Amino acid sequence: MAAERTASVTWEGNLVQGKGTINSTGSGVLSTLPVTWASRSEERSGGKTSPEELVAAAHAACYCMALSHGLTQKGTPPERLQTTATATFAPGAGGFTKMHLVVRGRVPGIDQAAFQEAANAAKDGCPISQALKNNVQISLDAALEA
């Protein structure tokens, strides 16, 4: 059976001066998050979120799950994975154009080459990466923690 997830947003006004609110998500973990064009298109977010920030959060979580699974399947389950996803939005230059993933892992019994291989496979295979494929350039920096 497929899982469905929902989110509700209200927008008031035009694009540039208007404002929105992420009212809720089906799980209830996100609510009343402000969103504006400025928070999406300017360097500083002013305490508001953007669609790209939310996609970055989703991508980091999805990527960690995919990498954890891949490492476990190879017999080297991770103790810890820390991923940061940075989405780049450039108005007038294609919009949401890039996603950069940085992952650091503590994985007993694996070397950097094997970790890099698993990290690349997870980048290519996670469902959020698949949704972004051919639309957003995805780059990766993967390293084991000392």
* pLDDT (tens digit per residue) in 88-108: 998 887 789 999 999 999 999
92/137 same-domain check: yes
pLDDT at 65: 98
Q: What is the mean pLDDT of residues 30-44?
A: 90
Instruction: Tally the C-alpha atoms within 13 A of residue 119's C-alpha that lie toward its C-beta.
Output: 27
29/80 same-domain check: no
Q: How many domains does the chain have?
A: 2
Q: Domain containing 18: what range?
A: 7-41
66/15 same-domain check: no
12/82 same-domain check: no
For residues 82 and 104, what is the distance between their CA atoms, to the nearest angstrom?
5
Helix (H) or strand (E) holding 17, with range, is none
